[in-house]
Structure 1
Amino acid sequence: MKPDWVPILCYHRVCPESEFGPDPGSLCVTPGQFGRQLALLKALGYRTVTLADLAAYLKAQKNLPPRSVALTFDDGYADNCVHAFPLLKKHGFTATVFLVTDRIGGTNVWDSGKVPLLNEDQIVRMRDGGVHFGSHSAGHADLSRSDPGTIRRELSDSLEKVRGLCGRMDVPFCYPYGRPGPAAKAAARELGYLCALSTDTGSDTDQSGDLFEMRRVQVFPSTTLSGFWKKLQPWYPRWQKFQKKLKSSF
Protein backbone atom coordinates (compact mmCIF):
# COMPACT_ATOMS: atom_id res chain seq x y z
CA MET A 1 0.00 0.00 0.00
CA LYS A 2 1.41 3.38 -1.05
CA PRO A 3 0.99 6.60 0.95
CA ASP A 4 -1.78 8.95 -0.19
CA TRP A 5 0.79 11.70 0.03
CA VAL A 6 4.00 12.41 1.88
CA PRO A 7 3.95 15.71 3.77
CA ILE A 8 7.24 17.57 4.04
CA LEU A 9 7.12 19.55 7.28
CA CYS A 10 9.10 22.79 7.39
CA TYR A 11 10.67 24.03 10.62
CA HIS A 12 13.28 26.68 11.38
CA ARG A 13 14.13 27.08 15.06
CA VAL A 14 13.37 24.94 18.13
CA CYS A 15 14.03 26.94 21.29
CA PRO A 16 12.43 28.23 24.51
CA GLU A 17 9.89 31.00 24.01
CA SER A 18 12.20 33.42 25.82
CA GLU A 19 14.64 33.06 22.89
CA PHE A 20 12.11 33.63 20.10
CA GLY A 21 12.92 37.31 19.61
CA PRO A 22 10.96 39.70 17.39
CA ASP A 23 12.29 38.21 14.16
CA PRO A 24 12.21 35.36 13.22
CA GLY A 25 9.91 34.66 16.17
CA SER A 26 7.18 33.46 13.83
CA LEU A 27 9.53 30.70 12.65
CA CYS A 28 10.16 29.13 16.07
CA VAL A 29 8.54 26.32 18.03
CA THR A 30 9.34 25.41 21.62
CA PRO A 31 10.99 22.10 22.55
CA GLY A 32 7.73 21.17 24.26
CA GLN A 33 5.72 21.79 21.10
CA PHE A 34 8.20 19.90 18.95
CA GLY A 35 8.31 16.98 21.37
CA ARG A 36 4.52 16.71 21.42
CA GLN A 37 4.40 16.82 17.63
CA LEU A 38 6.95 14.02 17.35
CA ALA A 39 5.08 12.01 19.97
CA LEU A 40 1.89 12.39 17.94
CA LEU A 41 3.65 11.25 14.78
CA LYS A 42 4.94 8.20 16.66
CA ALA A 43 1.52 7.41 18.15
CA LEU A 44 -0.11 7.63 14.72
CA GLY A 45 2.42 5.23 13.22
CA TYR A 46 4.35 7.69 11.06
CA ARG A 47 7.87 7.00 9.88
CA THR A 48 10.28 9.69 8.79
CA VAL A 49 11.85 9.31 5.37
CA THR A 50 14.80 11.12 3.85
CA LEU A 51 14.48 13.42 0.86
CA ALA A 52 16.52 10.87 -1.10
CA ASP A 53 13.85 8.26 -0.25
CA LEU A 54 11.10 10.66 -1.27
CA ALA A 55 12.78 11.66 -4.53
CA ALA A 56 13.22 7.99 -5.46
CA TYR A 57 9.57 7.33 -4.61
CA LEU A 58 8.38 10.22 -6.77
CA LYS A 59 10.47 8.90 -9.66
CA ALA A 60 8.83 5.47 -9.17
CA GLN A 61 12.16 3.95 -8.13
CA LYS A 62 11.23 3.06 -4.56
CA ASN A 63 8.21 2.26 -2.41
CA LEU A 64 7.47 3.99 0.87
CA PRO A 65 5.34 2.86 3.83
CA PRO A 66 1.79 4.29 4.00
CA ARG A 67 2.41 6.79 6.80
CA SER A 68 5.59 8.51 5.68
CA VAL A 69 6.62 12.05 6.55
CA ALA A 70 9.75 14.14 5.92
CA LEU A 71 11.02 16.65 8.48
CA THR A 72 13.10 19.63 7.35
CA PHE A 73 14.81 22.56 9.08
CA ASP A 74 15.83 25.72 7.23
CA ASP A 75 18.91 27.89 7.96
CA GLY A 76 20.82 25.52 10.26
CA TYR A 77 20.31 27.17 13.63
CA ALA A 78 22.42 25.91 16.54
CA ASP A 79 19.28 25.16 18.54
CA ASN A 80 18.53 22.42 16.02
CA CYS A 81 21.38 20.50 17.67
CA VAL A 82 20.68 21.64 21.23
CA HIS A 83 16.91 21.09 21.34
CA ALA A 84 15.62 19.32 18.20
CA PHE A 85 18.30 16.66 17.78
CA PRO A 86 17.80 14.97 21.19
CA LEU A 87 14.05 14.80 20.57
CA LEU A 88 14.55 13.30 17.12
CA LYS A 89 16.81 10.63 18.62
CA LYS A 90 14.34 9.95 21.43
CA HIS A 91 11.58 9.13 18.94
CA GLY A 92 13.79 7.38 16.39
CA PHE A 93 13.21 9.98 13.68
CA THR A 94 15.47 11.60 11.13
CA ALA A 95 15.39 15.02 9.47
CA THR A 96 17.15 17.16 6.88
CA VAL A 97 18.78 20.45 7.93
CA PHE A 98 19.50 23.04 5.24
CA LEU A 99 22.74 24.95 5.85
CA VAL A 100 23.77 28.46 4.80
CA THR A 101 27.33 27.34 4.26
CA ASP A 102 29.18 30.69 4.43
CA ARG A 103 27.64 31.28 7.86
CA ILE A 104 28.43 27.92 9.48
CA GLY A 105 29.62 28.61 13.02
CA GLY A 106 28.46 32.22 12.81
CA THR A 107 25.12 33.96 13.18
CA ASN A 108 22.25 34.69 10.83
CA VAL A 109 22.49 37.91 8.82
CA TRP A 110 19.17 37.67 6.98
CA ASP A 111 16.99 38.35 10.05
CA SER A 112 17.48 40.44 13.15
CA GLY A 113 18.72 38.97 16.40
CA LYS A 114 22.11 37.48 15.45
CA VAL A 115 20.96 33.94 16.20
CA PRO A 116 23.80 31.35 16.47
CA LEU A 117 24.09 28.84 13.64
CA LEU A 118 25.42 25.28 13.73
CA ASN A 119 29.18 24.89 13.80
CA GLU A 120 31.04 22.04 12.11
CA ASP A 121 31.36 19.96 15.29
CA GLN A 122 27.59 20.10 15.81
CA ILE A 123 26.97 19.22 12.16
CA VAL A 124 29.25 16.18 12.42
CA ARG A 125 27.56 15.09 15.66
CA MET A 126 24.12 15.32 14.08
CA ARG A 127 25.31 13.64 10.88
CA ASP A 128 26.70 10.73 12.88
CA GLY A 129 23.34 10.56 14.69
CA GLY A 130 21.40 10.04 11.47
CA VAL A 131 20.49 13.59 10.49
CA HIS A 132 20.90 14.56 6.83
CA PHE A 133 22.02 17.93 5.50
CA GLY A 134 21.28 20.00 2.44
CA SER A 135 22.19 23.37 1.00
CA HIS A 136 20.32 26.61 1.68
CA SER A 137 22.82 28.47 -0.55
CA ALA A 138 26.16 29.97 0.44
CA GLY A 139 24.94 33.31 1.77
CA HIS A 140 21.11 33.19 1.89
CA ALA A 141 20.73 35.47 -1.14
CA ASP A 142 17.31 35.97 -2.70
CA LEU A 143 17.99 33.89 -5.81
CA SER A 144 14.78 34.99 -7.51
CA ARG A 145 16.37 38.46 -7.81
CA SER A 146 20.01 37.48 -8.39
CA ASP A 147 22.01 37.46 -11.61
CA PRO A 148 23.00 34.11 -13.18
CA GLY A 149 26.62 34.33 -11.98
CA THR A 150 25.60 34.93 -8.37
CA ILE A 151 23.06 32.12 -8.50
CA ARG A 152 25.62 29.64 -9.78
CA ARG A 153 28.21 30.64 -7.16
CA GLU A 154 25.66 30.46 -4.34
CA LEU A 155 24.60 26.97 -5.38
CA SER A 156 27.94 25.48 -6.44
CA ASP A 157 29.96 26.72 -3.44
CA SER A 158 27.37 25.46 -0.96
CA LEU A 159 27.00 22.13 -2.76
CA GLU A 160 30.75 21.52 -2.51
CA LYS A 161 30.77 22.45 1.19
CA VAL A 162 27.85 20.19 2.13
CA ARG A 163 29.29 17.27 0.19
CA GLY A 164 32.62 17.74 1.97
CA LEU A 165 31.03 17.91 5.42
CA CYS A 166 28.61 15.04 4.97
CA GLY A 167 30.35 12.73 2.53
CA ARG A 168 27.24 12.33 0.38
CA MET A 169 26.66 13.20 -3.26
CA ASP A 170 22.83 13.25 -3.09
CA VAL A 171 22.44 16.75 -1.64
CA PRO A 172 19.01 18.46 -1.64
CA PHE A 173 18.61 22.22 -2.00
CA CYS A 174 16.24 24.65 -0.32
CA TYR A 175 15.57 28.07 -1.89
CA PRO A 176 16.28 31.02 0.43
CA TYR A 177 13.05 32.80 1.32
CA GLY A 178 11.27 29.93 -0.43
CA ARG A 179 11.54 31.75 -3.79
CA PRO A 180 12.69 29.48 -6.62
CA GLY A 181 12.89 31.55 -9.80
CA PRO A 182 13.52 29.83 -13.16
CA ALA A 183 17.28 30.54 -13.18
CA ALA A 184 17.78 29.06 -9.71
CA LYS A 185 15.73 25.98 -10.59
CA ALA A 186 17.77 25.44 -13.74
CA ALA A 187 21.07 25.88 -11.88
CA ALA A 188 20.06 23.43 -9.13
CA ARG A 189 19.20 20.84 -11.75
CA GLU A 190 22.36 21.41 -13.82
CA LEU A 191 24.71 21.30 -10.83
CA GLY A 192 23.43 17.89 -9.78
CA TYR A 193 21.31 18.59 -6.73
CA LEU A 194 18.99 15.77 -5.69
CA CYS A 195 15.90 18.00 -5.56
CA ALA A 196 14.93 21.50 -4.45
CA LEU A 197 12.32 22.71 -1.97
CA SER A 198 10.34 25.92 -1.62
CA THR A 199 8.30 27.13 1.35
CA ASP A 200 5.06 27.46 -0.58
CA THR A 201 2.33 25.72 1.39
CA GLY A 202 -0.58 26.83 -0.75
CA SER A 203 -0.66 24.15 -3.42
CA ASP A 204 0.84 20.98 -4.84
CA THR A 205 1.92 19.62 -1.47
CA ASP A 206 0.82 16.22 -2.72
CA GLN A 207 4.20 16.22 -4.51
CA SER A 208 2.69 15.56 -7.93
CA GLY A 209 4.85 18.15 -9.66
CA ASP A 210 8.42 19.30 -10.15
CA LEU A 211 11.22 17.73 -8.08
CA PHE A 212 12.93 21.13 -8.19
CA GLU A 213 10.04 23.04 -6.71
CA MET A 214 8.75 20.69 -4.04
CA ARG A 215 6.19 22.21 -1.68
CA ARG A 216 6.15 21.94 2.08
CA VAL A 217 3.85 22.43 5.06
CA GLN A 218 5.14 25.04 7.50
CA VAL A 219 4.87 24.59 11.26
CA PHE A 220 4.50 27.77 13.33
CA PRO A 221 4.46 28.59 17.06
CA SER A 222 0.70 29.06 16.70
CA THR A 223 0.24 25.52 15.35
CA THR A 224 -1.83 23.58 17.88
CA LEU A 225 -1.61 19.80 18.15
CA SER A 226 -4.96 19.44 16.36
CA GLY A 227 -3.72 21.90 13.73
CA PHE A 228 -0.57 19.81 13.36
CA TRP A 229 -2.69 16.71 12.79
CA LYS A 230 -4.58 18.54 10.03
CA LYS A 231 -1.30 19.35 8.28
CA LEU A 232 -0.65 15.61 7.92
CA GLN A 233 -3.91 14.85 6.12
CA PRO A 234 -4.13 14.25 2.34
CA TRP A 235 -6.92 16.84 2.07
CA TYR A 236 -4.86 19.58 3.74
CA PRO A 237 -3.44 21.05 0.48
CA ARG A 238 -6.96 21.38 -0.96
CA TRP A 239 -8.16 22.96 2.29
CA GLN A 240 -5.38 25.55 2.09
CA LYS A 241 -6.26 26.34 -1.50
CA PHE A 242 -9.88 26.83 -0.48
CA GLN A 243 -8.93 29.10 2.43
CA LYS A 244 -6.69 31.20 0.21
CA LYS A 245 -9.39 31.55 -2.42
CA LEU A 246 -11.97 32.45 0.23
CA LYS A 247 -9.76 35.18 1.72
CA SER A 248 -9.04 36.70 -1.70
CA SER A 249 -12.76 36.99 -2.44
CA PHE A 250 -13.36 39.48 0.41
Structure 2
Amino acid sequence: MAAPDNRRRSSVPWVAMYHSVNDCTEDPYRITVTPERLDKQLTWLRRRGLHGVSMARLLAARAEGRGHDLVGLTFDDGYADFLTEALPVLRRHRCTATLFVLPGRLGGDNAWDPLGPRKPLLTADGIRRAADEGVEIGSHGLTHVDLTKADDLTLKKETVDSRADLSALLGTEIDGFCYPYGTIDRRAMDAVREAGYGYGCAIDPGELNGLHALPRVHIGQDDNTLRLFLKYRLHGLRRRPVEGLR
Protein backbone atom coordinates (compact mmCIF):
# COMPACT_ATOMS: atom_id res chain seq x y z
CA MET A 1 0.00 0.00 0.00
CA ALA A 2 1.31 3.46 -0.87
CA ALA A 3 2.41 5.74 1.94
CA PRO A 4 -0.17 8.35 2.99
CA ASP A 5 0.07 11.68 1.19
CA ASN A 6 0.92 13.98 4.11
CA ARG A 7 1.31 16.91 1.72
CA ARG A 8 -2.36 16.74 0.73
CA ARG A 9 -3.51 16.58 4.38
CA SER A 10 -1.14 19.26 5.66
CA SER A 11 -2.11 22.51 3.97
CA VAL A 12 -1.24 24.25 7.24
CA PRO A 13 1.50 23.15 9.67
CA TRP A 14 0.22 21.21 12.68
CA VAL A 15 1.61 22.77 15.85
CA ALA A 16 0.86 21.22 19.25
CA MET A 17 0.61 23.55 22.26
CA TYR A 18 1.70 22.14 25.61
CA HIS A 19 2.37 23.83 28.93
CA SER A 20 3.31 21.89 32.08
CA VAL A 21 4.26 18.20 32.23
CA ASN A 22 3.62 16.84 35.69
CA ASP A 23 0.93 15.48 37.99
CA CYS A 24 -2.42 16.88 36.86
CA THR A 25 -4.63 15.98 39.83
CA GLU A 26 -5.32 19.68 40.42
CA ASP A 27 -5.46 21.36 37.03
CA PRO A 28 -8.34 23.87 36.67
CA TYR A 29 -6.86 25.49 33.54
CA ARG A 30 -6.14 22.16 31.80
CA ILE A 31 -2.51 23.14 31.19
CA THR A 32 -0.88 19.94 32.45
CA VAL A 33 -0.24 16.50 30.99
CA THR A 34 1.49 13.68 32.81
CA PRO A 35 4.77 12.33 31.45
CA GLU A 36 2.95 9.07 30.75
CA ARG A 37 0.32 10.83 28.63
CA LEU A 38 2.98 12.82 26.75
CA ASP A 39 4.78 9.55 26.04
CA LYS A 40 1.61 8.03 24.57
CA GLN A 41 0.91 11.13 22.49
CA LEU A 42 4.40 11.15 21.00
CA THR A 43 4.11 7.42 20.34
CA TRP A 44 0.93 8.15 18.39
CA LEU A 45 2.77 10.71 16.26
CA ARG A 46 5.58 8.33 15.41
CA ARG A 47 3.18 5.50 14.51
CA ARG A 48 1.51 7.82 12.01
CA GLY A 49 4.84 8.62 10.39
CA LEU A 50 5.03 12.06 12.03
CA HIS A 51 7.96 13.56 13.92
CA GLY A 52 7.84 16.26 16.60
CA VAL A 53 10.32 19.11 16.07
CA SER A 54 11.00 22.70 17.03
CA MET A 55 9.28 25.57 15.28
CA ALA A 56 12.59 26.63 13.76
CA ARG A 57 13.05 23.27 12.07
CA LEU A 58 9.39 22.98 11.06
CA LEU A 59 9.22 26.43 9.46
CA ALA A 60 12.57 26.07 7.69
CA ALA A 61 11.42 22.81 6.11
CA ARG A 62 7.98 24.08 5.14
CA ALA A 63 9.43 27.24 3.58
CA GLU A 64 11.25 24.91 1.18
CA GLY A 65 8.14 22.83 0.47
CA ARG A 66 9.37 19.95 2.66
CA GLY A 67 8.57 18.69 6.14
CA HIS A 68 4.95 17.69 5.70
CA ASP A 69 5.66 14.84 8.11
CA LEU A 70 6.84 17.27 10.79
CA VAL A 71 4.76 18.48 13.75
CA GLY A 72 5.73 21.51 15.80
CA LEU A 73 6.00 20.83 19.55
CA THR A 74 5.70 23.96 21.67
CA PHE A 75 5.71 24.38 25.45
CA ASP A 76 4.43 27.68 26.84
CA ASP A 77 5.38 29.57 30.03
CA GLY A 78 8.74 27.88 30.74
CA TYR A 79 7.76 25.65 33.64
CA ALA A 80 10.61 24.11 35.60
CA ASP A 81 9.15 20.66 35.06
CA PHE A 82 10.12 20.90 31.39
CA LEU A 83 13.65 19.81 32.30
CA THR A 84 12.72 17.04 34.71
CA GLU A 85 9.53 15.63 33.15
CA ALA A 86 9.13 16.70 29.51
CA LEU A 87 12.70 16.61 28.24
CA PRO A 88 13.36 12.93 29.09
CA VAL A 89 10.22 11.94 27.15
CA LEU A 90 11.23 14.09 24.18
CA ARG A 91 14.69 12.50 24.19
CA ARG A 92 13.21 9.01 24.28
CA HIS A 93 11.22 9.75 21.11
CA ARG A 94 14.09 11.68 19.50
CA CYS A 95 11.93 14.80 19.32
CA THR A 96 12.93 18.41 19.64
CA ALA A 97 10.71 21.29 20.75
CA THR A 98 10.36 25.03 21.22
CA LEU A 99 10.12 26.39 24.76
CA PHE A 100 8.54 29.84 25.16
CA VAL A 101 9.77 31.51 28.36
CA LEU A 102 9.23 34.68 30.40
CA PRO A 103 12.53 36.48 31.10
CA GLY A 104 10.73 38.89 33.44
CA ARG A 105 9.69 36.03 35.75
CA LEU A 106 12.85 33.93 35.96
CA GLY A 107 12.61 31.55 38.91
CA GLY A 108 9.11 32.79 39.70
CA ASP A 109 5.79 31.02 39.28
CA ASN A 110 2.52 31.19 37.33
CA ALA A 111 1.16 34.16 39.27
CA TRP A 112 -1.15 35.05 36.36
CA ASP A 113 -3.27 31.95 37.15
CA PRO A 114 -5.35 32.83 40.24
CA LEU A 115 -6.68 29.29 40.64
CA GLY A 116 -4.84 26.02 40.99
CA PRO A 117 -1.35 25.19 42.25
CA ARG A 118 1.68 27.45 42.02
CA LYS A 119 4.00 26.06 39.36
CA PRO A 120 7.66 27.10 39.47
CA LEU A 121 9.23 28.58 36.36
CA LEU A 122 12.70 27.97 35.02
CA THR A 123 15.61 30.02 36.28
CA ALA A 124 18.15 31.57 33.91
CA ASP A 125 20.35 28.53 34.41
CA GLY A 126 17.43 26.22 33.61
CA ILE A 127 16.77 28.03 30.33
CA ARG A 128 20.44 27.70 29.40
CA ARG A 129 20.32 23.99 30.20
CA ALA A 130 17.29 23.54 27.94
CA ALA A 131 19.04 25.41 25.12
CA ASP A 132 22.17 23.27 25.59
CA GLU A 133 19.94 20.20 25.06
CA GLY A 134 18.96 21.48 21.62
CA VAL A 135 15.64 23.04 22.62
CA GLU A 136 14.74 26.20 20.72
CA ILE A 137 14.06 29.07 23.14
CA GLY A 138 11.46 31.67 22.24
CA SER A 139 9.86 34.59 24.03
CA HIS A 140 6.47 34.48 25.73
CA GLY A 141 6.78 38.17 26.57
CA LEU A 142 8.32 39.49 29.77
CA THR A 143 5.60 38.80 32.32
CA HIS A 144 2.66 37.05 30.61
CA VAL A 145 0.56 40.09 29.68
CA ASP A 146 -2.35 40.00 27.22
CA LEU A 147 -0.84 42.09 24.41
CA THR A 148 -4.23 42.98 22.98
CA LYS A 149 -4.94 44.95 26.18
CA ALA A 150 -1.47 46.44 26.72
CA ASP A 151 -0.65 50.13 26.34
CA ASP A 152 2.07 51.14 23.88
CA LEU A 153 4.92 51.18 26.43
CA THR A 154 3.99 47.77 27.86
CA LEU A 155 3.60 46.31 24.39
CA LYS A 156 7.12 47.43 23.48
CA LYS A 157 8.62 46.07 26.70
CA GLU A 158 6.89 42.71 26.34
CA THR A 159 8.12 42.25 22.78
CA VAL A 160 11.37 44.21 22.33
CA ASP A 161 12.79 43.93 25.85
CA SER A 162 11.97 40.25 26.25
CA ARG A 163 13.82 39.45 23.04
CA ALA A 164 16.83 41.51 24.11
CA ASP A 165 16.91 39.87 27.55
CA LEU A 166 16.80 36.36 26.14
CA SER A 167 19.41 37.18 23.50
CA ALA A 168 21.72 38.43 26.26
CA LEU A 169 20.99 35.37 28.40
CA LEU A 170 21.75 32.84 25.64
CA GLY A 171 24.18 34.77 23.47
CA THR A 172 22.09 34.17 20.36
CA GLU A 173 19.27 35.79 18.42
CA ILE A 174 15.72 34.89 19.43
CA ASP A 175 13.47 34.24 16.45
CA GLY A 176 10.19 33.02 17.95
CA PHE A 177 7.42 34.68 19.96
CA CYS A 178 4.33 33.19 21.57
CA TYR A 179 1.36 35.44 22.39
CA PRO A 180 0.35 35.11 26.08
CA TYR A 181 -3.11 33.55 26.43
CA GLY A 182 -2.95 32.94 22.68
CA THR A 183 -4.70 36.26 22.07
CA ILE A 184 -3.72 38.32 19.06
CA ASP A 185 -4.82 41.34 17.08
CA ARG A 186 -3.28 43.36 14.27
CA ARG A 187 -1.52 45.76 16.66
CA ALA A 188 0.09 42.93 18.67
CA MET A 189 1.13 41.09 15.52
CA ASP A 190 2.73 44.22 14.07
CA ALA A 191 4.61 44.82 17.33
CA VAL A 192 6.01 41.29 17.28
CA ARG A 193 7.11 41.63 13.66
CA GLU A 194 8.67 45.05 14.28
CA ALA A 195 10.56 43.71 17.31
CA GLY A 196 12.48 41.45 14.92
CA TYR A 197 10.89 38.05 15.52
CA GLY A 198 10.71 35.73 12.55
CA TYR A 199 7.44 34.14 13.63
CA GLY A 200 4.70 34.35 16.24
CA CYS A 201 2.53 31.55 17.65
CA ALA A 202 -1.09 32.17 18.64
CA ILE A 203 -4.00 29.73 19.08
CA ASP A 204 -6.79 30.90 16.80
CA PRO A 205 -5.59 33.99 14.89
CA GLY A 206 -8.95 34.53 13.18
CA GLU A 207 -8.58 36.56 10.01
CA LEU A 208 -4.90 37.25 10.62
CA ASN A 209 -2.49 35.12 8.60
CA GLY A 210 1.20 34.66 8.03
CA LEU A 211 4.31 33.69 9.96
CA HIS A 212 3.47 36.07 12.81
CA ALA A 213 -0.01 34.62 13.32
CA LEU A 214 0.51 30.86 13.40
CA PRO A 215 -2.40 28.75 14.70
CA ARG A 216 -1.81 25.96 17.21
CA VAL A 217 -3.77 23.11 18.76
CA HIS A 218 -4.09 22.79 22.54
CA ILE A 219 -3.06 19.34 23.75
CA GLY A 220 -4.19 18.21 27.19
CA GLN A 221 -4.41 15.21 29.47
CA ASP A 222 -7.70 14.06 27.93
CA ASP A 223 -6.25 13.83 24.43
CA ASN A 224 -6.04 10.12 23.76
CA THR A 225 -5.29 8.63 20.34
CA LEU A 226 -8.82 9.18 19.02
CA ARG A 227 -8.93 12.82 20.10
CA LEU A 228 -5.47 13.43 18.66
CA PHE A 229 -6.54 11.94 15.34
CA LEU A 230 -9.61 14.19 15.20
CA LYS A 231 -7.63 17.29 16.15
CA TYR A 232 -5.02 16.49 13.53
CA ARG A 233 -7.55 16.01 10.76
CA LEU A 234 -9.81 18.93 11.70
CA HIS A 235 -6.89 21.35 12.01
CA GLY A 236 -6.09 20.97 8.33
CA LEU A 237 -9.74 21.45 7.40
CA ARG A 238 -10.47 24.45 9.65
CA ARG A 239 -7.32 26.50 9.09
CA ARG A 240 -6.28 28.42 6.03
CA PRO A 241 -2.84 27.71 4.54
CA VAL A 242 -0.23 29.94 6.13
CA GLU A 243 0.99 32.66 3.79
CA GLY A 244 4.68 32.24 3.00
CA LEU A 245 4.74 28.46 3.56
CA ARG A 246 4.21 25.56 1.18
Report the TM-score range of the alignment, normalised by the length of the smaller protein. Answer: 0.7 to 0.9
Counterpart of 2:175 in structure 1 is: 171
Counterpart of 1:68 in structure 2 is: 70
Indicate if the aligned counterparts of 1:96 and 1:132 stay in contact, CA closer than 8 A: yes
For residue 219 of structure 1, report the CA deviation from its aligned partner: 0.6
Separation in 2 of the partners of 1:69 and 1:215?
13
SS for the counterpart of 2:212 is: coil
Counterpart of 1:195 in structure 2 is: 199
Q: Which has the higher contact order (CA 8 A, sep 6+)?
A: 2
Aligned length: 231
Identity %, equivalent residues: 34
Q: 1:152 aligns with which of 151, 156, 170?
A: 156
Indicate if the aligned counterparts of 2:58 and 2:70 stay in contact, CA closer than 8 A: no
Separation in 2 of the partners of 1:183 and 1:171?
19
State whether structure 2 residue 114 is matched by structure 1 residue 118.
Answer: no
Unaligned runs of 5+ in 2: 241-246
Counterpart of 1:211 in structure 2 is: 211
| Farther-moved stretch of structure 1 (107-116 vs 84-93) | 107-116
Counterpart of 1:238 in structure 2 is: 237
Separation in 1 of the partners of 2:50 and 2:135?
17
Counterpart of 2:243 in structure 1 is: none
The alignment yields a C-alpha RMSD, in angstroms, of 2.4
Counterpart of 1:12 in structure 2 is: 19
* Aligned partner letter, 2:177: F
* Aligned partner letter, 1:86: P
Separation in 2 of the partners of 1:115 and 1:230?
30
Counterpart of 1:244 in structure 2 is: none
Separation in 1 of the partners of 2:201 and 2:239?
18
Indicate if the aligned counterparts of 1:163 and 1:171 stay in contact, CA closer than 8 A: no
Separation in 1 of the partners of 2:56 and 2:39?
25
Indicate if the aligned counterparts of 1:76 and 1:117 stay in contact, CA closer than 8 A: yes
* Aligned partner letter, 1:121: D
For residue 164 of structure 1, report the CA deviation from its aligned partner: 2.3
Counterpart of 1:105 in structure 2 is: 107
For residue 101 of structure 1, report the CA deviation from its aligned partner: 1.3
Separation in 2 of the partners of 1:50 and 1:199?
17
Counterpart of 1:47 in structure 2 is: 51
Separation in 1 of the partners of 2:173 and 2:85?
28
Unaligned runs of 5+ in 1: 242-250
Separation in 1 of the partners of 2:104 and 2:69?
36
The verdict on how the C-alpha distance between 1:43 and 1:104 changes in structure 2, with shifts beyond 3 A counting, is same
With the length of structure 2 as denominator, give the TM-score of the two structures.
Answer: 0.85
Indicate if the aligned counterparts of 1:198 and 1:213 stay in contact, CA closer than 8 A: yes
Q: Encode CA deviations 1:155-188: one digit per residue, 9 max, x unaligned.
A: 1111012222333324210111111122211111
* Aligned partner letter, 2:16: L
Separation in 2 of the partners of 1:22 and 1:72?
19
SS for the counterpart of 1:210 is: coil
With the length of structure 1 as denominator, give the TM-score of the two structures.
Answer: 0.84
For residue 237 of structure 1, report the CA deviation from its aligned partner: 4.3
SS for the counterpart of 2:172 is: coil
SS for the counterpart of 1:17 is: coil
For residue 229 of structure 1, report the CA deviation from its aligned partner: 2.4
